[in-house]
Amino acid sequence: MGLLFRGIVWFSVYVLLVLLPLALAMLGDPIAAARPWSLEFAVAGGFIAYAIIAFEFALVSRLRAASEPFGTDSLLQFHAQMGVAGMLFLLLHVLLLLPHAASASMFNPFAGGVAARSGALAFWALLILGVTSAGRSRLRLRYETWQWVHASAALLVGGSALVHILAVGHYASRTALRVILIVYALAFVALLLRYRIIRPLRLARLPWEVVSNTDVGGDTRSLVVRPVDHPGLRFQPGQFVWLATGARPLTAQQHPITIASSAEPDEAHHIELAIKAFGDWSGNVVPQLHAGARVWLDGPYGALTPDRFPGQGFVLIAGGIGITPMLSILRTMRDRDDVRPVVLIYAANRPERMVFRDELTALQSELNLRIVLVYESPPPDWRGEQGLVTTELLRRHLPKQYKRFQYFVCGPAQMMDLLEDELLEVGVPAAQICTERFNMG
Ligand SMILES: Cc1cc2nc3c(=O)[nH]c(=O)nc-3n(C[C@H](O)[C@H](O)[C@H](O)COP(=O)(O)OP(=O)(O)OC[C@H]3O[C@@H](n4cnc5c(N)ncnc54)[C@H](O)[C@@H]3O)c2cc1C
């Protein structure tokens, strides 16, 4: 089945699941007492909000079959957008209920019956979820703290929303609807168990060992790992793994890291990961991973790969450590004797922040490759491109046939947002732009 077709099927299933509770409420036998339209709309908003929230986790729970057609980056953005949509439906639910509520105590999770308390709890938990997600950097929350708050608040929202709907009854007194709502909750629990318990246990049986850990400049470590008593990993150039470090996979910290190696395996099935120091884990834990240390790799994931999006030629645009997928793509092209033309636009703050520059320069003699280096703060004697990657810069360097090329863009979120607009502005068809953000959440 083609990726596009699979994407359409998964998206249709998702929309169906989101609308199913509402459809079951609307299509059942009419409920005797007529109610004001605002109350009916409030209930409709509530059903949609519940269904959206129930499937939020499914979007980010590393279900490979479902994520493959879209890519992790797009799914993460969709997860965030649907989170906002869920919140808006819940807000609509609350606002339309206000005129019918007995008093402002509808917001008090300690007052009233089960239905009122659980509804208020879901409301406040969703508010916490929204505020901590939208304002994570302003609140200066550590990623791990935020992740913990996010997961706990999400559990609380889903759980109390279910109790609320079941306790209110009315439409939810119908068996079919009750069953569907409970099945959604059970599906969520099953995915959580798979994610937290089953997947780590499976990883434990497939350990990897650090072969070398080298400083390659620009605050970056090159970590080479080898599979221990298993055949390793088959991946496509540009894909990433979740690298778990710690005593055991059940408790290990996991971080998404792109495979920098060629997808054509060497005999020992070594894999290279290039990791730049950004925070606690990459700055303190990674440098301490000595040869022989045990790690686990969950993957591969991601769709930023020419194996899925082939083209007559490629334009690779990397910002900083966003060079890792491009390195994998170029190394793989070399090993496959791929002679298709490639333009690499590689932006970094200063020359010393750029990693693998010598290897990239050498690759120009083995591939049909042209490299454009861009420094934000160049040294005084630099005669090349400087500043940001702008539409003018793109126009100067894109090849003649640029509308037929495939584009891969990877780097920090701000750069990606700019580039997506700029590429469209210079006339690159949206379908030929594939992106990956290195910031999650
Ligand atoms: C698909 C993908 C591929 C990546 N590939 C590379 C790569 O090849 N090389 C590289 O150096 N970096 C890569 N990154 C970025 C890398 O994952 C983060 O730099 C790293 O997780 C930072 O962790 P920290 O605790 O050191 O820093 P922190 O300061 O805690 O986090 C910095 C940022 O990294 C992200 N992050 C932190 N922890 C996690 C986590 N457990 N799960 C998900 N995101 C997290 C968050 O956006 C956070 O704001 C990639 C990111 C993504 C999404």
pLDDT digits (tens, 9 = 90+) for 400-418: 889 999 999 999 888 888 9
- Asked if the structure places residue 22 within a domain, the reply is yes
pLDDT band for position 270 (cuts 50, 70, 90) = very high
- Asked if the structure places residue 308 within a domain, the reply is no
Atom number of ligand 1 nearest to Cα 301: 1
Spatial distance between the Cα atoms of 62 and 138, rounded to a whole number of angstroms: 28
Atom number of ligand 1 nearest to Cα 437: 53
Co-location of 195 and 214 in the same domain: no
201: left (phi over 0), alpha (psi -120 to 50) or beta: alpha
- Asked if the structure places residue 307 within a domain, the reply is no
Co-location of 26 and 110 in the same domain: yes
Co-location of 297 and 323 in the same domain: no
Which string of b and e fits 192-210 if b means at least 16 CB within 10 Å? Answer: eeeeeeebbeebeebbbeb
Spatial distance between the Cα atoms of 106 and 261, rounded to a whole number of angstroms: 57
Q: For residue 441, is pLDDT > 60? A: no
Give the Å distance between the CA of 167 and the centre of ligand 1: 42
Domain of residue 344 covers: 314-437
* Secondary structure (3-state) at 300: strand
pLDDT band for position 31 (cuts 50, 70, 90) = low
Task: Report which of 206, 234, 222 is spatially closest to residue 332, judged by C-alpha positions.
Answer: 234
Lowest mean pLDDT among 20-34, 74-88, 329-343, 378-392: 20-34
Give the Å distance between the CA of 383 and the centre of ligand 1: 33
Share of the chain above pLDDT 70, in %: 97
Co-location of 343 and 275 in the same domain: no
The CATH code of the domain that includes 291 is 2.40.30.10
**Residue 405 near residue 314 (C-beta atoms within 8 A):** yes
- Asked if the structure places residue 283 within a domain, the reply is yes
Convert the pLDDT of each residue in 284-300 to its tens digit.
999 999 999 999 999 89
**Residue 389 near residue 422 (C-beta atoms within 8 A):** yes
Convert the pLDDT of each residue in 342-397 to its tens digit.
999 999 999 988 999 999 999 999 999 999 999 999 999 999 999 999 999 999 99
Instruction: For a ligand 1 pocket test, name from 220, 438, 439 the mutation site with the most ligand atoms within 8 angstroms of its C-beta.
Output: 438
Per-residue H/E/C for 88-118: HHHHHHHHHHHHHCCCHHHHCCCCCCHHHHH
Co-location of 171 and 230 in the same domain: no
Co-location of 260 and 364 in the same domain: no
Give the Å distance between the CA of 133 and the centre of ligand 1: 16
* 6: amino acid identity, one letter: R
* 328 C-beta closer than 6 A to ligand 1: no
Give the Å distance between the CA of 261 and the centre of ligand 1: 19
- Asked if the structure places residue 333 within a domain, the reply is yes
In this prediction, residue 152 carries a pLDDT of 93
Name the β-bridge partners of 256: 242
Atom number of ligand 1 nearest to Cα 282: 26
Structure tokens at 210: 């650090």
Give the Å distance between the CA of 255 and the centre of ligand 1: 6
- Asked if the structure places residue 162 within a domain, the reply is yes
In this prediction, residue 137 carries a pLDDT of 84
The 3-state DSSP composition of the chain as helix, strand, coil percent (nearest 5) reads 50, 15, 30
Q: Whose CA is nearest to atom 4 of ligand 1?
A: 257
**Residue 257 near residue 240 (C-beta atoms within 8 A):** yes
Give the Å distance between the CA of 212 and the centre of ligand 1: 21
Co-location of 191 and 211 in the same domain: no
Instruction: For a ligand 1 pocket test, name from 76, 144, 282, 285 the mutation site with the most ligand atoms within 8 angstroms of its C-beta.
Output: 282
The CATH code of the domain that includes 385 is 3.40.50.80
Atom number of ligand 1 nearest to Cα 253: 41
Average pLDDT over residues 223-229: 96
Structure tokens at 162: 């279910």
* 436 C-beta closer than 6 A to ligand 1: yes
Dihedral pair phi/psi, residue 386, rounded to 5°: -145, 165
Q: Which of 165, 199, 233 is the last residue of a domain?
A: 199
Q: For residue 70, is pLDDT > 90? A: no
* 176 C-beta closer than 6 A to ligand 1: no
DSSP labels, 198-251 = IHHHHHHTSEEEEEEEEE-STTEEEEEEEESSS------TT-EEEEEESSSTTT
| Torsion 63-64-70-75 (CA) sign | positive
**Residue 319 near residue 266 (C-beta atoms within 8 A):** no
Co-location of 258 and 232 in the same domain: yes
In this prediction, residue 440 carries a pLDDT of 62
Co-location of 174 and 191 in the same domain: yes
Convert the pLDDT of each residue in 130-149 to its tens digit.
999 988 888 888 888 898 99
Name the β-bridge partners of 275: 221
- Asked if the structure places residue 231 within a domain, the reply is yes
Spell out the long-range contacts of 282-290 with Cβ–Cβ below 8 A and sequence spacing 24 or more. 282/255, 283/219, 285/245, 285/253, 286/213, 286/221, 286/223, 286/245, 287/213, 287/215, 287/221, 289/210, 289/213, 289/223, 289/245, 290/210, 290/213
**Residue 398 near residue 343 (C-beta atoms within 8 A):** yes
- Asked if the structure places residue 306 within a domain, the reply is no
Co-location of 61 and 181 in the same domain: yes
Co-location of 55 and 131 in the same domain: yes
* 439 C-beta closer than 6 A to ligand 1: yes
Co-location of 195 and 221 in the same domain: no
Tally of structural domains, the chain: 3
* 278 C-beta closer than 6 A to ligand 1: yes
**Residue 409 near residue 317 (C-beta atoms within 8 A):** yes
Atom number of ligand 1 nearest to Cα 260: 8
